Structure 1
Amino acid sequence: MSVDESRPAGGLREERKARTRRAIREHALRLFLDGGYDETTVEQIAAAAGVSHMTFFRYFPTKEAVVEDDDYDPLIAESVRARPAAEPPMTALHRAVRTGLDTVLAADRDAVYARTRLVVTHPALRARQWRNAATTESLLARALAERAGTPVDLRLRVIAAAATAALITALTTWVDHGGADDLRTLVDEAFAALGAKPR
């Protein structure tokens, strides 16, 4: 039997979509690193991934989105919501980031490094990082508020902004050192500078 009938069709469909999205991203990152971000076209990415350029746009609205979009922020936010309510917010964020990193690095370390390197070294992508950081800050502040059962306030926004800055600085340092350092250790050091308790 070629199809696992015990699985719902929607589950198989979602797996196929995830595989296609991953293949597009992997080919795009390889092309960006080999031939240059600006020089690589959507058509080249689609051809390398074996899909049409229209299929590319079903998964990524723009070329930039291949580098910028990820599922990591929602994963971290969900982990924040699951942390004990009595835990200090910065500690909860640190531990949630570490949980997310453990998952992501185990599955996609090379892709995470390639994407981070592109953002850090490409001026246009780096300039867009501010907008993406603001989105991350907002998501983390909401997760902290939901965990505590309170509205988002200035304090939670500042804590989320500081945690986002710590993570971005750790990622930038990782790239600056050619990926030789352990990213988790860099993240621990960055959060320690903010006064987060050790894990």
Structure 2
Amino acid sequence: MSDQHSTLRAQRRADTQRMIQAHAVRLFGERGYDATTVADVADAAGVSPMTVYRHFPTKEDLVLIDRHGRIVAERIAASPAAQPLVRRISRALIESAAMVTDGDRGDGPTAAEQFLLARLQLMITTPALRAKHLDNHYALQQAIVEALASDAADPDATFHAQAAAGACLAAMHTALVRWAEDDGRTALPDLIAKALAAAFGDAVVGPDA
């Protein structure tokens, strides 16, 4: 029973976090990031400012916190260790993008894509968010290196993993900026795959044999 209660609490926490973040991104888009306070977000979400801070320690986190890094790390950890590093990372980035945007977009962008697009556009256009976004980029790189299970006692292996992760993330960043500037007209996983293929070749990011 305790495990069930713990799962339910975690689900309620995740639901509350998503609800607060949705209101925050909406308000930032309507009023501007600098003109919107955490109190404004709390009022719109129907919670106290303290509740907002429990889920998002800083105002920047209201835009930047997501589940992308965890999904990428999980996909890499589940990939065949014998594959080249760049292929493992590239496939994980493409697959995680499909998961966070709900995959099939039908006749247009999914609701998840529209939400991610609004967040990305805020990151690109808001000076206060750009520096923090770079911190998140570095954290994702470190998560990827750890998921690759690089031998910490082998500096060369760690260096190779860091270089591969950095190169793949640079290609993904180019795709994200293009996607945001183009108002999400292209499916994000396809655009990331295109950027990675331009950097490393089609064979690296193509489907598994």
Q: TM-score, normalised to structure 2's length?
A: 0.86
Give the equivalent residue in structure 1 for 2:136.
Answer: 132
Of 182, 186, 204, which aligns to 1:181?
Answer: 186
Please tell me whether residue 154 in structure 1 is matched to residue 141 in structure 2: no
Please tell me whether residue 122 in structure 1 is matched to residue 121 in structure 2: no
Q: Which runs of 5+ in 2 are unaligned?
A: 103-110
Q: 1:150 Cα shift?
A: 2.8
Q: 1:115 Cα shift?
A: 0.9
Q: Structure 2 counterpart of 1:178, which letter?
A: D
Kindly report structure 1 stretches of 4+ aligned residues shifted beyond 3 Å: none
Q: TM-score, normalised to structure 1's length?
A: 0.90
CA separation in 1, counterparts of 2:160 and 2:4?
44
Aligned 1:1-199 pairs, distance under 5 A: 8-106=4-102, 108-144=112-148, 146=149, 150-151=151-152, 152-195=157-200, 196-199=204-207
CA separation in 2, counterparts of 1:129 and 1:57?
19
CA separation in 1, counterparts of 2:98 and 2:130?
25
Q: 1:139 Cα shift?
A: 1.1
SS in 1 for 2:47: coil
Q: Structure 2 counterpart of 1:112, which letter?
A: L
CA separation in 2, counterparts of 1:194 and 1:82?
24
Q: Which runs of 5+ in 1 are unaligned?
A: none
Please tell me the root mean square deviation across aligned C-alpha atoms, in Å.
1.6
Q: 1:130 Cα shift?
A: 2.0
Deviations 1:99-157 (A, max 9, x none): 2112110172222111111101112212332222111111111212x1xx633521111
Q: Structure 1 counterpart of 2:43, which letter?
A: A
State the aligned residue count. 191
